[in-house]
């Protein structure tokens, strides 16, 4: 008997929860995904912050096709000169203040976090790493070690030693950063904590404290970077600059790629004692780099960042309902808070099943609805999304 894709998925693809979405998607375009029955879904989460330029942007597809006609993988990271990765590194550096001029490409966000932690330890000669409670930095051992949720980590101990956590936005905890600290890593805007935006003075104070004690500041912009918050890099809005910047997700326009970026001086630690301080076979894959370069150019040429604030305001103006307790947000990274997970889950399920609207909650904030649509979403599509969400809320609440 021929098994359905759903049966194969459930039987042979390792499951990570007992409640996967189980939505079958056949194709995707722009802000929409389509099921095998032709049913259309409006994607309000962008594959968790990935499809900032929408699904299958024509320029991204064209760049991928061009690269497919030249070569795929040639060699492990860092040996051969390849045009597109070199141009991508240059294009990224052009978006950044000096001395952030040296880019290391990885396969994923978590791998970029690993690289960032390693060069911070290498450069400072220190071992202590500090991150924030409720921070999410990835699922590999190092990234998990600095993730700020005990329940996520406990079953996988022992993890990295010498890790401490700050309460986010708490000035008194900055005293925990000392001459022992190699690096403080923080999401410029916390994502999985349910979109937590630092107060206006917090990140500058954190930056100052790091300088005082000689600790490096690593900004994780894997979720909040690449235009999502209304500036190309979220840190541009907070009056600080990192020593090391980490990005991934939206960077590849739907292809897997990440990067950690720092000064040539800090990055030079990867070259000696030992050589090959961070190795990766596929990091900076030319097809991913081609997609990433096109994505960057689309964001720039289509002025996507400039449109973010007005689009976010349009969502906020319409998302008014007695059941909505708060709307937090920084640009198009938004969280809509309800009374409880039970209520939220009913709304999410109803919106998907009856309205064709795809949303989600957050890893460490399960009473809030995740809204992170592609930045290309139009006013009409925002209106369509809000009307459908409000209908779903009213259905569930009554």
Closest separation between CB of residue 143 and ligand PLP, Å?
A: 7
CB-CB contact of 295 with 251 (8 Å): yes
CA distances to 32, 60, 225, 247, 302 from 220, in Å: 28, 24, 8, 7, 25
Closest separation between CB of residue 223 and ligand PLP, Å?
A: 4
Peptide bond into 274 cis (omega under 30): yes
The helix-helix angle for 379-397 and 304-318 (nearest 10°) equals 30
CB-CB contact of 116 with 185 (8 Å): yes
**Between 136 and 235, whose beta carbon lies closer to ligand PLP?**
136
To the nearest 10°, report the CA torsion of 276, 295, 309, 94: 50
Closest separation between CB of residue 220 and ligand PLP, Å?
A: 5
Residue with the closest Cβ to ligand PLP?
109
d(CA 163, CA 130): 6
Question: 285: which 2 tokens?
Answer: 């894959």
Closest separation between CB of residue 398 and ligand PLP, Å?
A: 34
Closest separation between CB of residue 218 and ligand PLP, Å?
A: 11
Peptide bond into 384 cis (omega under 30): no
CB-CB contact of 212 with 178 (8 Å): no
The residue written with tokens 């995707």 in the block is: 28
Closest separation between CB of residue 376 and ligand PLP, Å?
A: 21
Interacting residues with ligand PLP (CB under 6 A): 48, 108-110, 113, 136-138, 187, 191-192, 220, 222-223, 248
Closest separation between CB of residue 112 and ligand PLP, Å?
A: 8
Q: Is 340 exposed, middle or buried (0-12, 13-18, 19+ CB in 10 A)?
A: exposed
**Between 361 and 388, whose beta carbon lies closer to ligand PLP?**
361
Q: Where are the extended beta strands (E) located within 162-314? A: 163-166, 181-187, 216-220, 244-247, 258-262
**Between 181 and 223, whose beta carbon lies closer to ligand PLP?**
223
**Between 89 and 247, whose beta carbon lies closer to ligand PLP?**
247
**Between 235 and 392, whose beta carbon lies closer to ligand PLP?**
235
Peptide bond into 99 cis (omega under 30): yes
Closest separation between CB of residue 108 and ligand PLP, Å?
A: 4
Closest separation between CB of residue 2 and ligand PLP, Å?
A: 33
**Between 53 and 113, whose beta carbon lies closer to ligand PLP?**
113
Cβ neighbour number for residue 238 with a 10 Å cutoff: 24
**Between 52 and 381, whose beta carbon lies closer to ligand PLP?**
52
**Between 193 and 293, whose beta carbon lies closer to ligand PLP?**
193
**Between 324 and 363, whose beta carbon lies closer to ligand PLP?**
363
Reduced to 3 states (helix: H, G, I; strand: E, B; else coil), residue 371 is strand
Please compute, for residue 354, the number of CA atoms within 13 A of its CA located in the half-sphere on the CB side.
Answer: 16
**Between 223 and 288, whose beta carbon lies closer to ligand PLP?**
223
Closest separation between CB of residue 12 and ligand PLP, Å?
A: 22
d(CA 257, CA 141): 19
Question: 370: which 2 tokens?
Answer: 């995740």
The residue written with tokens 């722009």 in the block is: 30
């Amino acid at each position: 008997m021929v098994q359905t894709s759903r049966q194969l998925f459930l039987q042979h693809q390792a499951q990570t929860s007992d409640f996967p979405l189980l939505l079958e998607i056949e194709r995707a375009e722009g802000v929409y995904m389509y099921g095998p029955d032709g049913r259309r879904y409006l994607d309000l989460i962008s594959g968790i912050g990935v499809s900032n330029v929408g699904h299958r942007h024509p320029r991204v597809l064209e760049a991928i096709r061009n690269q497919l006609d030249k070569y795929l993988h040639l060699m492990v990271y860092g040996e051969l000169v390849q045009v597109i990765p070199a141009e991508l590194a240059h294009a990224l550096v052009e978006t950044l203040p000096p001395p952030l001029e040296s880019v290391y490409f990885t396969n994923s966000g978590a791998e970029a976090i690993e690289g960032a932690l390693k060069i911070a330890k290498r450069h400072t000669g220190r071992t202590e790493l500090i991150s924030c409670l409720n921070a999410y930095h990835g699922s590999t051992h190092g990234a998990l070690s600095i993730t700020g949720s005990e329940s996520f980590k406990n079953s996988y101990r022992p993890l990295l030693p010498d890790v401490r956590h700050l309460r986010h936005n708490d000035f008194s905890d900055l005293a925990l950063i000392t001459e022992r600290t190699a690096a403080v890593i923080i999401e410029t805007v916390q994502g999985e904590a349910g979109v937590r935006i630092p107060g206006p003075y917090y990140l500058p104070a954190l930056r100052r404290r790091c300088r005082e004690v000689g600790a490096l500041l690593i900004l994780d912009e894997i979720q909040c970077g690449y235009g999502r918050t209304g500036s190309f890099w979220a840190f541009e809005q907070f009056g600080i600059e990192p020593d090391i910047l980490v990005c991934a997700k939206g960077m590849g326009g739907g292809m897997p790629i990440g990067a950690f970026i720092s000064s040539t001086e800090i990055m030079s630690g990867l070259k000696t004692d030992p050589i090959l301080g961070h190795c990766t076979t596929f990091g900076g894959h030319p097809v991913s780099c081609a997609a990433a370069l096109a994505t960057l150019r689309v964001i720039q040429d289509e002025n996507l960042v400039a449109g973010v604030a007005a689009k976010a305001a349009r969502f906020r103006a319409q998302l008014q309902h007695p059941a909505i307790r708060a709307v937090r947000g920084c640009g198009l990274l938004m969280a809509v808070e309800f009374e409880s997970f039970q209520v939220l889950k009913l709304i999410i399920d109803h919106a998907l099943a009856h309205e064709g609207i795809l949303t989600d909650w957050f890893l460490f904030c399960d009473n809030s609805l995740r809204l992170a649509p592609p930045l290309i979403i139009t006013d009409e599509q925002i209106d369509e999304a809000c009307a459908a969400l409000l209908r779903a809320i009213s259905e569930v609440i009554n």
